[in-house]
Structure 1
Amino acid sequence: MTVKDVGERETTPWPEFGTQGLDQNYIRRLTDFVDARLYLADHRVLLLLKCLMTCEMPEELRQRATRSVLGFRYSLLEPGTDSMSLWTENHQVTVAVAEYLAGQLFIDQTFTNDGRVGLRHKRAAHGRLMLWLSDRFRFGFSEWLSNTYLAFDLAALAMLVDHTDDEVLARRASMVIDLALIDVALHSFRGRFAPSMGRAHAEQVMHPEKSEMAPIIASAFGDVPPELDCDELASLFIVRERYQVPAAIRELAREQPLRLVFSSMGLDDVEVRRELRRHPQFPRLQMLEVVRFWWGMQAITTPATIVETMRAMRALDLREHRTFAPLQRFSRLPVRALRPALKALNPITSGAALHRANVQTLSTGNYLLSSVQHYQPGGFGDQQHLWHASLPGGIEVFGNHPGSTQLAPEGRSPSPDHWVGNGINPDIAQHYNVLLALYDLRQRRGMFEGRRKELVHIHFPFVLFDQTRLGTNWVAGRRRKSFIGILASHGFEQISETEIVQRGLETGYAVLLGDEEEFSSMSEFLHELKQYQLTLAAGRLSLVSPYVWYDLQWRGEFQVNGSPVRPDYPRYGSPSVQAPRNPDEVVVHGTEHTLRLAWPAGERVESVGQD
């Protein structure tokens, strides 16, 4: 066995000024956006810094870019009000990387927004980065498996690795990139990444090949370099110069065996105080430190967080911010009245909180089925994508309760929406290739909730299948060697070439997948599908066949043949990657290589051969 540290790689550098659209108009677009401090302005700062650090440009333009970088607001602790959302998990790292590199680049210069010199900005950002990186290694990503927001994390970290002068920080950032790419490799299907996700957008779910993660996946695992678009943040990962994807992770991504993966990511809001208090590297007790973690997981208006949210909102003077302005009605209440008032008003914003996610993904060479188990059933949803099936030919199948909100977020479409998230979350459980989803839409209405639809629907692209069949309470499709069938507790209604609907306040369905290793034809698969009987009574969804029965009780147990199936997953549970929750070490076994990531010692070591 040969042991070596993960080495460096050569790659195409960031384009020179005057090529591939990097011209005066490009720089001015970036500076105008940064100066206006619009939503996603932190992304533009990173792109602007990349140009400043790697491009020769006219002096007047360089000075303009420098003024924008020095005048930016990098933290909620700095003076100013704007439309930026710097507190969510992905923005925490993008803005911290931007501040760190800006401070490093302009080490002795004064930053005009707060009057501190670059060295102080660099030190402040370094502390936030070390916390963020350590939390991701220990707890995973709250925005679990997102094919949008994970891309932003990876782009920022790749740029940090390229340009930091701190080798310890570069090593830590590389290890977190490794973990994110492990997640992608384990939960992808034929290069498409659309498993269950903490935050999703409709277009990227229906067409994962168009997601922000698609060029990153192609760059990390593909044989053909993706096309470079310097307006997109993912370009920073594509042009990386130092970070090399370990061979063990590439082997995970390129091999497509039968693979069952259990993953646990994030924390419930009620766990945060305890887990941060006993964090082995960075124990935290202060209110703003705890709030930073809560807001990173968007737990702003939950019973566990509302008191500290109101205190932090006053301390940081966020009363004018679009996200926090609706909370002004709470501002005059005494502390003891905040939680009762929140429970009485029942705002749908509580559904934005990204709680602990126990995700099961089954993938074969012919299909993928992924879901998060028992995720906040009956609660409000937001952007969480709770289950997904992928088949060959770009077929993506998923279902939700279409939501409606009276709130209009800055810079993106409102959520939940027609295909995004859920108005009311279902109870979901998966056992290998079978998934049960149980909906109860009779929950109490919430503040800011729009008109609640009394139906659930499924995205089922009939036109992409080779064969489809639709019955009164079932639908089935075949694509090449892959089959999917869905049984409904109430009747299905096809309303378009991509959508079927099940109406009612209390409904459920079962999703079954298979391939030609089990079924020789569509007829044989349909014969098997019709052996199952799906019933819903007294909050219990039961799927029964001559061979096996599944039973899902609303907010209760999931049983298979009478035996409870527990959803408390380890951080990683798969043949290739295993680690308990809150690990200090993660080991990846590829087909020929092994990667060991040991966080306390900061070791990132790859072995040729198996341990």
Structure 2
Amino acid sequence: MAVRSADQRQPTPWPRFGSGGLEAPYVRRLVDFMNARLYMADHRALLLLKCMISSDLPGHLQDQASEAILAFRYSMLEAGSDSMTLWTENHQVTAAAAEYLAGQLFPGRIFSNDGRSGARHQRAAQAQLMIWLSDRFRFGFSEWLSSTCLAYDLAALALLIDHAADEALVERAKMVMDIGLLDLALHSFNRRFAPSMGRAHAEQVMHPEAAEIAPIWHSAFGQSPELEIDKLTSLFVAREKYQVPEAIFELATAQPVRRVLSSQGLDVDEVRDELRRHPFHPRSQSLDLIRFWWGQQAITTPETIVDSARAMRVFELQDSRILAPMRRYLKMPNPMLISTLRTLNPITSGKALNRANVQTISTSNYLLSSVQRYQPGGFGDQQHVWHASLRGNIEVFGNHPGSTQLHQENRPPTPSHWVGNGINPDLAQHHNVLLAQYDLRGRKGRFEGPRQELVHIHFPFVLFDQTRLGANWVAGRRGRGYIGILGTHRFELISETELVQRGQRTGYAVLVGDEEEYTSFAFFLEQLKQYRLRLSGDHLTLTSPLGRFDLTWGKDFKVNGHVIDCQYPRYEAPGVQVPRNPDEIEVIGSGHALRLEWGAGIRESTEMLRDSRVYDDID
């Protein structure tokens, strides 16, 4: 059965030339950006292809656009030194989608960067797209729940669905679009998307209402936003063929009491075996491993360094400005690379995106989301390990501010003041309680900047209706939602948005609640003051009127003496129960169901014949 959408609004149409801001200067900016091969030039390629296909460009502009498309570099395997990072997970799909559509548009023309015909580019891109799509269906997104990267993924898929000629490719793209929107639906709060993320930017976690994903959320589940053709997400907003399945729409637009456990991506040391036994695209060649590893940014890890160095030599990537820090090691024999890497302990190892076990709990008044036990003591890069939201655009999160000696020309360096972690905490969540402990004593790494012996919390006091601050605790209320944080060390109020806790070994606990649970903010404060938090060696203990929580660094997380399993299935949530590495995914909404079966290429929506409520209160 064809997938129908509960949202019958027409998406905003893509403008014709001469309207909606689509004028000659806009097209020329896209052409110039592509010709310069700047960071995110692959995004401009997608926008330019949309203009060429849908906007009836004048002849002279069509010619300029064609020249840019035919001269572009679409893959890290093609020759060229520039600022494009075509190997990361989101750029793999944006670049391959551009290459596929470019080849489809010019099948008989020769692409000047590598001398291959458009037809050959199209075939190569199709093969890579099918693998990328299959991996996302099976393993999820390595750049887990990123409000930026997910937005780019969905925009590229929307353009493929609208214009790709291959029906099998289009159908698989729709299925991965469904999964991306399912993640968006399950981890949203109050029409905002700010859960734990694999890659985050400071402004987007502080102001998720203005994040890259925001127009996609509103276009899929809310009111269609204004079309901003300078943004890649306009390709989703102006989509022509994809409709949001009703089951996903129902999950997104309800705000029940919901607990979501989900697993995304693979650990770096899992990749070799998982790709070898992949049921649809088994592979074991070094290049196939490199594509996956580099997609998760695992370039300089002990498991990948030998293959990474070999790939740089074979594909002549020594001149890449982005990979410049690795040049000095390429002349080393392979046996020395791993030992040298371990000795140097480079901060770049923190870029690797390992498997993420994410828990998100939400009600109509709050959200708390975190990634469990994620690489404690290791370097972080852009990973956003925990986040709490209340109504009124209140965003609360904490990290260890990091610094790096590496400076990138394409974006601000990370980790930084509010992005990533200089050193990752050991962190675990159980329903509405989160524990985190930090150990900043680890060995300094190559390229690491000065290490600060403090952690801090973004807490926007001015946005709350009420706040209270003690020596080692803080609490706030917005509407009917509450948040409290207890520290093992004294909190220093640095500004109206920042609290600092100093020390090499520190910890804190986060508690969220609302009137349904605590009846009033006064009662919430009374309960919070009965909590006791203690850090002894590597053991963090929280005792409360409701029970005891124990987090031992790198070992067990216990609640009332019971070990909590922090390894999650792919989905365990109201309406979605899916094991890791699935071949089939079923989504059940309040009135409709969606079934996705990858091997058979089945994507079907059905209307349930009986009232099936999937939103049960949390135990």
TM-score normalized by structure 1?
A: 0.98
Structure 1 stretch displaced more, 106-115 or 199-208: 106-115
2:615 maps to what in 1? none
How many Å separate the matches in 1 of 2:454 and 2:148? 28
Is the CA contact 1:303–1:339 (under 8 Å) kept in the aligned structure 2? Answer: yes
Is the CA contact 2:11–2:219 (under 8 Å) kept in the aligned structure 1? Answer: no
For 1:330, give the aligned amino acid: Y
Residue 610 of structure 1: CA displacement? Answer: 5.8
Identity of aligned residues (%): 64
CA RMSD of aligned residues (A): 1.1
Residue 10 of structure 1: CA displacement? Answer: 4.5
Residue 364 of structure 1: CA displacement? Answer: 0.6
Show CA shifts across 1:248-275 (max 9, x none). 0000000111101000000000000000
Structure 1 stretch displaced more, 18-27 or 418-427: 18-27
Query: After the TM superposition, which residues 509-548 of structure 1 pair with which residues of structure 2 at under 5 Å, given as runs?
Result: 509-548=508-547
Question: Structure 1 residue 305 and structure 2 residue 304: aligned?
Answer: yes
How many Å separate the matches in 1 of 2:213 and 2:396? 19
Residue 9 of structure 1: CA displacement? Answer: 8.0
Is the CA contact 2:30–2:45 (under 8 Å) kept in the aligned structure 1? Answer: yes
Show CA shifts across 1:555-577 (max 9, x none). 11100001100111000001211
2:405 maps to what in 1? 406
Is the CA contact 1:382–1:422 (under 8 Å) kept in the aligned structure 2? Answer: yes
2:186 maps to what in 1? 186
Residue 242 of structure 1: CA displacement? Answer: 0.2
1:230 maps to what in 2? 229
Is the CA contact 2:12–2:227 (under 8 Å) kept in the aligned structure 1? Answer: no
Q: 1:9 to 1:115 in 2, by over 3 A?
A: farther
Residue 521 of structure 1: CA displacement? Answer: 2.1
Show CA shifts across 1:271-325 (max 9, x none). 0000000000100011011000000000000000000000001111111212321
Is the CA contact 2:527–2:545 (under 8 Å) kept in the aligned structure 1? Answer: no
What secondary structure sits across from 1:119 in the alignment? Answer: helix
Show CA shifts across 1:455-495 (max 9, x none). 00000000000000000000000001011000000000110
For 1:57, give the aligned amino acid: L
How many Å separate the matches in 2 of 1:51 and 1:326? 38
How many Å separate the matches in 1 of 2:11 and 2:387? 34
How many Å separate the matches in 1 of 2:365 and 2:78? 51
What secondary structure sits across from 2:495 in the alignment? Answer: coil
| Regions of 4+ moved over 3 Å | 3-12
1:486 maps to what in 2? 485
2:395 maps to what in 1? 396
What secondary structure sits across from 1:517 in the alignment? Answer: helix
Query: After the TM superposition, which residues 11-160 of structure 1 pair with which residues of structure 2 at under 5 Å, given as runs?
Result: 11-160=11-160
How many Å separate the matches in 2 of 1:209 and 1:459? 17
How many Å separate the matches in 2 of 1:242 and 1:398? 38
2:551 maps to what in 1? 552
What secondary structure sits across from 1:495 in the alignment? Answer: strand
For 2:165, give the aligned amino acid: D
How many Å separate the matches in 2 of 1:489 and 1:317? 51
Is the CA contact 1:150–1:180 (under 8 Å) kept in the aligned structure 2? Answer: yes
Question: Structure 1 residue 285 and structure 2 residue 284: aligned?
Answer: yes
TM-score normalized by structure 2?
A: 0.97
For 1:339, give the aligned amino acid: I
1:217 maps to what in 2? 217
Is the CA contact 1:16–1:22 (under 8 Å) kept in the aligned structure 2? Answer: yes
Is the CA contact 1:468–1:475 (under 8 Å) kept in the aligned structure 2? Answer: yes
1:448 maps to what in 2? 447
Query: After the TM superposition, which residues 207-606 of structure 1 pair with which residues of structure 2 at under 5 Å, given as runs?
Result: 207-222=207-222, 224-606=223-605
Show CA shifts across 1:441-461 (max 9, x none). 001000000000010000000
2:174 maps to what in 1? 174
Is the CA contact 1:9–1:241 (under 8 Å) kept in the aligned structure 2? Answer: no
How many Å separate the matches in 2 of 1:247 and 1:123? 33
Is the CA contact 1:6–1:605 (under 8 Å) kept in the aligned structure 2? Answer: no
Is the CA contact 1:10–1:242 (under 8 Å) kept in the aligned structure 2? Answer: no
How many Å separate the matches in 2 of 1:128 and 1:547? 51
Residue 97 of structure 1: CA displacement? Answer: 0.2
For 1:118, give the aligned amino acid: G
How many Å separate the matches in 2 of 1:203 and 1:546? 37
Is the CA contact 1:378–1:440 (under 8 Å) kept in the aligned structure 2? Answer: yes
How many Å separate the matches in 2 of 1:367 and 1:69? 46
Is the CA contact 2:81–2:321 (under 8 Å) kept in the aligned structure 1? Answer: no
What secondary structure sits across from 2:192 in the alignment? Answer: coil
Is the CA contact 2:3–2:245 (under 8 Å) kept in the aligned structure 1? Answer: no
Residue 410 of structure 1: CA displacement? Answer: 2.8
Residue 116 of structure 1: CA displacement? Answer: 1.1
For 2:220, give the aligned amino acid: A
How many Å separate the matches in 2 of 1:132 and 1:410? 27
Residue 5 of structure 1: CA displacement? Answer: 4.0
How many Å separate the matches in 2 of 1:510 and 1:429? 10
How many Å separate the matches in 1 of 2:433 and 2:549? 9
Q: 1:550 to 1:164 in 2, by over 3 A?
A: same
For 2:24, give the aligned amino acid: Q
- The runs of 5 or more residues in structure 2 that have no matched partner are 611-619
Residue 12 of structure 1: CA displacement? Answer: 3.2
For 1:54, give the aligned amino acid: S
Is the CA contact 1:589–1:610 (under 8 Å) kept in the aligned structure 2? Answer: no
Show CA shifts across 1:64-121 (max 9, x none). 0100000000112222211110000000000000000000011111111111111111
What secondary structure sits across from 1:518 in the alignment? Answer: helix
Is the CA contact 2:11–2:224 (under 8 Å) kept in the aligned structure 1? Answer: no
For 1:471, give the aligned amino acid: G
How many Å separate the matches in 1 of 2:435 and 2:384? 15
Residue 232 of structure 1: CA displacement? Answer: 0.3
